[in-house]
Structure 1
Amino acid sequence: MMIRHCVFIRFRPEVSEVEKTAIFAEIAALKDRLPGFLAVHVGENVSPEIGMDKGYAEGFIVDFADVAARDAYLDDAEHQKTGAKIVAAADGGVQGVFVYDLEIPD
């Protein structure tokens, strides 16, 4: 069963677009190294439902072939370094990061 790993971020106001782009590029670069990392989608929230994002205005979604591929990503040292950068750039640290994983039936 595929896993869709959704990460939404409330960046601190002083975090530059350059820093955000670099963080997202690091996540995307993991695709070439990690088996079962199928796709990554990065961007700003474009929902017309004002206020529904609760300030989580940017983020990314990664599709994994299965739970094992997702878990290998979570355990990966490079992912953990980038994850620490995300937490450091988020408003309130961990409180500024929302993670939600979905099982996608085959």
Structure 2
Amino acid sequence: MIRHIVLVRFRPDVSPEAIAAIFADLHAIEGKVPGLLSIASGRSESPEKIERGYLHGFTVDFADWAALEAYQVHPDHRRVGAALVAHAEGGLDGILVFDLPIA
């Protein structure tokens, strides 16, 4: 399994409603990409408080690398990705992506 981890620093002027709409659009991709197992999203609730401004994020679990690749080129993913970049602080600089193979 591959866990796709995305952390976002949204601009201060982006409303909670706008963030919720982006995440709802993300969740709408479930069931559209073979091998996409699950999506979880939300705001950090870490008691450590060391998010460094990356207060929102999501994970997407994939069966394998091929499923992640299919997701990356899917038009719905590209649309959500463009919305994330448009609303992130500094555009792409406000987004971190980490892909972790899970045994």
TM class, shorter-length:
over 0.9
Alignment of 1:1-106 (within 5 A): 2-50=1-49, 52-105=50-103
1:97 is aligned with what amino acid? I
Q: Determine helix, strand or coil for the equivalent of 1:32.
A: coil
The alignment yields a C-alpha RMSD, in angstroms, of 0.8
Amino acid of the structure 1 residue aligned with 2:56: E
Q: CA deviation at 1:32?
A: 1.6
SS in 1 for 2:28: helix
What amino acid sits opposite 1:80 in the alignment? R
Counterpart amino acid of residue 66 in structure 2:
A
Amino acid in structure 2 at the alignment position of 1:58: H
Per the alignment, in what secondary structure is the counterpart of residue 25 of structure 2?
helix
What is the TM-score of this pair, normalised by structure 1?
0.93
Partner Cα separation in structure 1 for residue 13 and residue 32 of structure 2: 31
In structure 2, list runs of 5 or more residues that go unmatched: none
- CA deviations over 1:38-71 (Å, ceiling 9, x no partner): 0111111111112x21110001000001000001
d(CA) in 2 for partners of 1:26, 1:34: 14
CA distance in 1, matches of 2:21, 2:34: 22
Identity rate, percent: 48
Unaligned stretches of 5+ residues in structure 1: none
TM-score, normalised with respect to structure 2: 0.96
